[in-house]
Amino acid sequence: MINVLVVDDSAFMRKIFSEKINSEPGLTVIDTARNGEQALEKIAELKPDIITLDIEMPVRNGLETLKVLRRKHPALPVLMVSALDNRDTVMKALEMGAFDFIPKPSGSISLDIDDIEKELLAKLKTGASSCQPAQNTDKSHITLNERAELNGEKKKTLSRKGRFPIIAMGASSGGPRAVKQILSSLPRELPAALAIVQHMPAGFTTSLARRLNQESALEVKEAEPGDRLKPGSVLLAPGDYHMVFSENRVELNQRPRRWGVRPCADYMMSSLAALYDKRVIGIILTGMGSDGGEGMKAIKEQGGYGIVEDESTALVYGMPRTVIETGAYDEILPREDIPARLLKVIERREN
């Protein structure tokens, strides 16, 4: 039985969340808390397996509570709960170590909880059973010379040819933090284009793209129809739209969800593999679910290269495990080793 602590300042939301969670086999709400201060006391006493944590609360809000939790209870999975207009705050919570979030469909008190019930229950089960403690992956195993090049301390630029490599990256739970760490370690003059699918609702990918653009040397934007892949740039699939490529240009569609998600990494990766064959380098990072396995298989079948994040750094290992089970990869690497290895793969594929 997975013991859940529900933390929300709204009595209505505490009641509704508790009813939904208690109705699901394998889940039970052991208690509720109306603010962060009360939550910290109950966590120390009850030792829940996972908590839902509202962002906007009196006394001690969600971010303040999360900061304490990362220090005192680093292994406790935290599922943030946020109104749709708190997007930047959600991004910060994910960077701080929350494994995922649930958006409130229509504000702090919602009668539309049925819209997110399935997602809530699935994330609670996944988070409690497969979350790893947040890792400090800022330290890398790469050499000092490689670190200097990645940070732009040297002016070396890899040779750029017309047939530049394409990096196709997929992530879900824990992904914003993982993607940020990888992109921030890549040089501005990267001779490869990146396309990324991060499972997120509409609107939240806009905030994520903006933060990634500010915190990395690369040009990052939320993809729009007609956008082109180009070296040194990153296109992020918008929430609620599948992103595929045709003739080097972005196409967005709202085909049915695949694996319960939209955008879907499988669709993006498969379209890139069909267009660019061995030029594609696929990367699957932390995330719940099965997305990515088919896409990585398509990349490998066309002669591309595949990298999977190691379980030691992945917050949730569903997506990486799916790829490993298909055998559609070349290497399994801890997150801190991926940027340096990526540069070496790019160099090899340019020559």
Query: What is residue 212's predicted lDDT score, i.e. its pLDDT?
Result: 96
- Which H or E element spans position 44? helix 36-46
- Per the listing, tokens 């719940």 go with 288
d(CA 50, CA 178): 21
Phi, psi for residue 333 in degrees, rounded to 5 = -130, 145
How confident is the model over 218-227, as pLDDT tens digits? Answer: 999 999 999 9
| Strand blocks (E) in the chain | 2-7, 27-33, 50-54, 78-83, 100-104, 166-171, 193-198, 219-222, 233-236, 242-246, 249-253, 280-284, 305-309, 331-333
Q: Tell me: domain 144-350, CATH 3.40.50.720, correct?
A: no
- Going from N- to C-terminal start, the domains of the chain cover 2-130, 144-350
Query: What is residue 109's predicted lDDT score, i.e. its pLDDT?
Result: 47
Q: Identify whether 199 is a catalytic site residue.
A: yes
Dig out the tokens for 158 from the structure: 């890899």
How confident is the model over 56-92, as pLDDT tens digits? Answer: 999 999 999 999 999 999 999 999 998 767 788 999 9
Which pTM was predicted?
A: 0.85
249 bridge partner residues: 228, 246
Query: What is residue 132's predicted lDDT score, i.e. its pLDDT?
Result: 61
> Which percentage of the chain shows pLDDT scores above 90?
76
Mean pLDDT over each residue of the chain, to the nearest integer: 88
- For residue 158, pLDDT over 60 is answered with no
- For residue 148, pLDDT over 60 is answered with no
- Catalytic site residue from 31, 54, 266, 291: 291
Return the minimum-mean-pLDDT range out of 16-30, 40-54, 153-167, 183-197: 153-167
- Catalytic site residue from 140, 199, 271, 290: 199
pLDDT tier at 133, thresholds 50, 70, 90: low
Asked whether the beta carbons of 52 and 4 are under 8 A apart, the reply is: yes
pLDDT tier at 117, thresholds 50, 70, 90: confident
Q: Identify whether 291 is a catalytic site residue.
A: yes
Dig out the tokens for 320 from the structure: 């990486």
Query: What is residue 150's predicted lDDT score, i.e. its pLDDT?
Result: 42
Angle made by CA atoms 93, 167, 220, in degrees to the nearest 5: 50
Q: Identify whether 312 is a catalytic site residue.
A: no
Asked whether the beta carbons of 339 and 179 are under 8 A apart, the reply is: no
- Catalytic site residue from 172, 207, 216, 271: 172
Query: What is residue 127's predicted lDDT score, i.e. its pLDDT?
Result: 87
Architecture of the CATH domain 2-130: 3-Layer(aba) Sandwich (3.40)
pLDDT tier at 142, thresholds 50, 70, 90: very low
- Confirm whether 2-130 and 144-350 share one CATH topology: yes
